[in-house]
Structure 1
């Protein structure tokens, strides 16, 4: 995974976690749930993309 793509995933993931904290402080339960689900999905997608790119890099091209 390139550094720029890693930075993008880190910033967006952190932004979603900050969104959860802000939603908790404002007492908005719907926003907490939305940011939580979005955060889990986005971070999970980042891990799966990283694994996919690593497998592609290790497999020799024919």
Structure 2
């Protein structure tokens, strides 16, 4: 995975985790669940993209 794409995934994943912390501090349960599910899916999507790009680069 190239650096700009990795940075994008890292920043958005971190923003979602900060959103969870903010929602907990405000006591908004719905936002906690929404950010939790969103961060889980987004981080999983990042791993899928990384694996796909790695497989594409390994083929001759």
Q: TM-score range by the shorter chain?
A: over 0.9
Kindly provide the CA deviation profile for residues 22-53 of structure 1, in whole angstroms up to 9, marking residues without a partner as x: 00000000000000000000000000100000
Runs of 4+ residues over 6 Å off in structure 1: none
Q: Give the aligned partner of residue 3 of structure 1.
A: 3
Distance in 2 between the 1:28 and 1:58 partners?
A: 45
Distance in 1 between the 2:19 and 2:35 partners?
A: 6
- Structure 1 alignment gaps of length 5 or more: none
Q: Give the aligned partner of residue 25 of structure 1.
A: 25
TM-score by length of 1: 0.95
1:1-62 aligned within 5 A: 1-60=1-60
Q: State the number of aligned residues.
A: 60
CA RMSD of aligned residues (A): 0.4
- Structure 2 alignment gaps of length 5 or more: none
